[in-house]
Amino acid sequence: MRILLVEDEERIANFVERGLKEERYAVDAVYNGKNALQMARINPYDLIILDLMLPDMDGLSVCEELRKNKMDVPILMLTAKSGVSDRVTGLDSGADDYLTKPFAFEELLARVRALLRRKKTGKVTLLKIADLELDQVTHKVMRSGKEIKLTSKEYALLEYLMMNVNQIVTRTMISGHVWNEDFDSFTNITDVYINYLRNKIDKGFDKHLIHTIRGVGYIIKE
């Protein structure tokens, strides 16, 4: 899952970004409203965490602009304003949830998970193909009843493949969802991580699930 974090207080931004990355999310951080709009227009985000008070363009205006442009990405708004009228204004502008500062990171994380679950059709949190299972809540991966330990990027890559089961995904599509804005699309890092996954997911099993479509990308299927 890829998240856009929009927060002008560097200390808070660094703290939240670090915590989200530890939870295996790909995160892009920007510090003003105009950059947030630009990033949201060019990247496929699964969630936006948006501070209300921003330089050059406040969070309400950013939120309204995103909705005006038919972007239905879930938006979690952060603010130091705790009044009922402030929360109502934020939600009416198009935000999906509202969290006041200061906040516990555990609560932020719970709200992020809830919004991402809400986004999924039918609220499915267990992805399955053949004897391979991925739990999006616990981040546990099992094959034939045996738990498989993955790094954060390996997990993110497998999750994206399984969310697009039986569909070809290109390297460009993978880089847009699994890595952040700093990713160099000209490197072979995606191929490297595909090999890492194969060694953990397919090695030792008669039926291989991850397949290469030469010149195009990858597909996970039985």
The answer to whether residues 204 and 157 belong to one domain is: yes
The answer to whether residues 113 and 19 belong to one domain is: yes
Say if residues 192 and 208 touch (Cβ distance below 8 Å). no
Q: How confident is the model over 19-25, as a mean pLDDT?
A: 87
Q: How confident is the model over 188-195, as a mean pLDDT?
A: 90
The answer to whether residues 10 and 110 belong to one domain is: yes
The answer to whether residues 76 and 180 belong to one domain is: no
The answer to whether residues 46 and 103 belong to one domain is: yes
Q: What is the pLDDT of residues 134-143, one digit of tens each?
A: 998 788 999 9
Strand ranges (E), 19-145: 26-30, 47-51, 75-79, 97-100, 126-129, 132-135, 141-143
Instruction: Evaluate the CA torsion angle 80, 84, 86, 90 in order and state its sign.
Output: positive
Q: In this predicted model, which residue has the larger pLDDT, 50 or 79?
A: 50
The answer to whether residues 201 and 129 belong to one domain is: yes
- Mean pLDDT, rounded, of the chain: 86
The answer to whether residues 12 and 54 belong to one domain is: yes
The per-residue b/e assignment along 4-39, b for 16 or more CB within 10 angstroms, e otherwise, is bbbbbbeebbeebbeebeebbbbbbbbbbbebbbeb
**pLDDT tier at 26, thresholds 50, 70, 90:** confident
User: What CATH number is associated with residue 164?
Assistant: 1.10.10.10
Q: What is the pLDDT of residues 51-63, one digit of tens each?
A: 988 988 988 999 9
The answer to whether residues 114 and 128 belong to one domain is: no
Domain that holds residue 142: 124-220
Among 77, 100, 120, which residue terminates a domain? 120
User: What CATH number is associated with residue 51?
Assistant: 3.40.50.2300
If one counts the domains in the chain, the total is 2
The answer to whether residues 83 and 35 belong to one domain is: yes
pLDDT of residue 172: 78
Which residue bears the tokens 């000209």? 186
- The pair of structure tokens assigned to 12 is 């808070």
Strand order in the sheet with 146-148: 126-129, 132-135, 141-143, 146-148
The answer to whether residues 98 and 24 belong to one domain is: yes
The answer to whether residues 177 and 132 belong to one domain is: yes
pLDDT of residue 200: 95
Q: In this predicted model, which residue has the larger pLDDT, 221 or 86?
A: 221
